[in-house]
Amino acid sequence: MKKLIVILFALFFASTAYSLTINLTANPTVVDVGDPVTFTAVITPEGAETGPYVFEWDFDDGSPIETITINDPENTVTTTHTYTATGDYQTELEVTFDPDGTGTTTDNTDEDIDIEVYGLTIILTTIPDPATGDIPFTVNLTATATGGTAPYVFEWDFEGDGTIDATENTSGTSNLIHEYTTQDTFTVKVKAIDTMLRSAETTATVIGTIGGNIAPIAETNGPYLNHIGILFDLNSDGSTDSGGGGGPGGIQNYSWIIELQAGNPQCVFTFTGTNSISGNPSNRYRYPEVVCSDIGTAKLTLTVTDNEGATDSAATIIKINPTQTTDKVNIVKMEIQPEILKTGTDLTVLITVRNETNEIQTFDVNYQIKEGMPDTNISNLPNLIQNLELLNQTVNGYSQKEFILVIPTADLEANLEGQKNYWIYATAIVSGENNKIFNKRRAIFNYSAIRTVQLPETNFIGILSVLLISLIILKR
C-alpha cells in the first residue's frame, strides 16, 4: 500500500511539476503592407524554474524562422516583423525548454495569433512600350490597382511637373490616352487612392523625339551665391544628351542668359577660351566665368542644344552680396565669464564666429592678453599671454557658431598681477589667409588675484584633552 501511494505521488508531481504557459499578443493585428508588427510573448513556468527557453517565431510568410533564447523564467520577449505582401497570416510561436533541469530532455508548447495584412499596389503600362516617338504622338496609359479597398481614385500627372492633369474613379483600372507635342523626356506619374485613403503610386517614362532624336537635358548646378567684384565659375556638369559628338553626348551649345530679378547685380561673362567645347562662340562654354558689380538677385538660364538642334533649358538664381570687406571667418561676439576673475579660477571666453562665405571654413583662434584701463590705447603694449587655441574648428557657409575658449588659471597666475584690468584680443584665422584688423575682437576683465585661504583643520578633541589635563594639574 505504501509503495502504491509513493508511485501515485510521484506520477502526480511528474505530470504537473513541469509546464509552461504563453501569453502571445500582437500590435497591430491589422496592418498595411510595409508597416511593422510588434509581437510580445510572456511566458510563465509552472513548477520547476529551469532554462534556457528557446523561442522560435514562424511568421507564416516564407521568411526564416526567428530564434530568441532566454535563461530567466517569467520573462517577456518581444520582436517585430514586417509583411511585404497582403494576406491573412497565422504567426506561431513555439517555446522549447528543459522540463527537469537535467539537460537531457526537452518539451515544448506553442501559441499562435492571426495577422491581417492589407496593401495597395499599382502597375503602369504604356502603348507603345517603350513610349518613345516623333512628336506629335499619342501614348495609351493604363494603370491597374490591386489590394486595398475598391473603388479607387486615379490621379494622373502626364508631364511629371506636379500638376494633376486628370482624375478617374474606377473599380480597378484606369485607361487614358495623352498626346505629347514637345520634344522632351517626361516622367508620367499616377497615384491610386482607395476608400481607406491608402495610396500607391508609380511612374513611366515618355520620350518625345524629332526625327528619332532625343532632346538633351540641361543642368545649372545652382543657386550661385557670391560677393561684388568676386569672379566665380558657372557649372553645367550633369547636362547630358544621348546622341553623339560635341561635349557630353551630342550637346553642341551651352547658352547662358542672366536676367535681373531684384536689385542691379550687373553681372557680365568673361571667357578665357579654355572652357569651350570647340571654337570660340560664347554660347559653347560649359564653365563660363562671371563677375557682378552690384548687389541683387538675377535669374540664370542655361539652354543646351544637341547636334540635331534639339534643346532643353534649366533655370536657377545668382545672388550677389555686398563686397566682402571682412575675412572669410570673423569673430562677431565675445563674452567673458566671469568679468571679475579671482586667482584659482579659469578664464572662460564665449566666442561667436561667423562664416562670410558659402563654403565650410576651417580656422584656429589666436588670442593675446594685455594690461590696460578701458580708455587706454594698448595697441603697442606687449602681450602678456599669447597662444593659438581652438585648432581646426569648422563653421558652415553663411552661418555662425559659438565656441568656448578656456584659459587655465596656471597661465593667468604666471603672467598677470592682481587688482588690475586686462584686455583679451581674439582673432579667427583661416589657414593660409591674411586676417584684417577688424576681424579682431576684444573684451575686458578684472583680475583680483584674491585667493581663498584654506585654514588648517582644528583638532577640537585634542584641544579639549589638553584643557582637561591642565585643569587637573591646577587642582592638584
Mean pLDDT within 135-157: 91
> Whole-angstrom Cα distance, residue 336 to residue 177?
72
Element (H, E) at 79: strand 76-82
Most confident stretch, 24-33, 168-177, 276-285, 364-373: 168-177
Average pLDDT over residues 38-56: 78
Mean pLDDT of the chain: 78
Q: List the one residue out of 364, 369, 351 whose CA is nearest residue 405.
A: 351
**pLDDT average, residue stretch 279-300:** 73
Q: Among the ranges 65-79, 374-388, 401-415, which has the highest mean pLDDT value?
A: 401-415
210 vs 134: CA distance, rounded Å: 5
| Mean pLDDT computed over 132-161 | 91
Handedness of CA 160, 164, 165, 171 (dihedral sign): positive
Q: What pLDDT is stored for residue 135 in this prediction?
A: 87
Question: Which residues lie closer than 8 Å to 102 by C-beta, 6 or more apart?
Answer: none
What proportions of the chain, in percent to the nearest 5, are helix, strand and coil? 10, 55, 40
* Mean pLDDT, residues 25-39: 88
Domains and CATH numbers, the chain: 2-118 (2.60.40.10), 120-213 (2.60.40.10), 224-321 (2.60.40.10), 329-447 (2.60.40.10)
Least confident of 273-287, 320-334, 441-455: 273-287
What is the pLDDT confidence band of residue 247, given thresholds at 50, 70 and 90?
Answer: very low
> Residue 223, preceding bond cis, omega within 30 degrees?
yes
pLDDT for residue 211: 75
Confidence class for position 238, pLDDT limits 50, 70, 90: confident
C-alpha cell at 213: 532624336
Is the pLDDT at 385 greater than 80, yes or no? yes
Residues 305-346: pLDDT tens digits? 888 888 889 999 998 877 655 578 888 888 887 777 777 788
pLDDT tens string 254-278: 888 888 777 777 888 765 434 444 4
- If you average pLDDT over residues 432-441, what whole number do you get? 58
What is the structure's pLDDT at 271? Answer: 55
Question: Distance (Å, rounded) from C-alpha 297 to C-alpha 319?
Answer: 4
The model's pLDDT over 54-113, given as tens digits with 9 standing for 90+, comes to 889 999 999 999 998 887 655 788 899 999 888 889 999 998 877 665 555 456 678 889
Q: Provide the pLDDT for residue 276.
A: 41
Q: What is the pLDDT of residue 101?
A: 58
Predicted confidence (pLDDT) at residue 161 exceeds the cutoff of 80: yes
The larger pLDDT score, comparing residue 19 to residue 216, is at 216
Confidence of residue 213 (pLDDT cuts 50, 70, 90): confident
In this predicted structure, what is the pLDDT of residue 243? 56
How far apart CA 107 and CA 92 sit, in angstroms, is 16
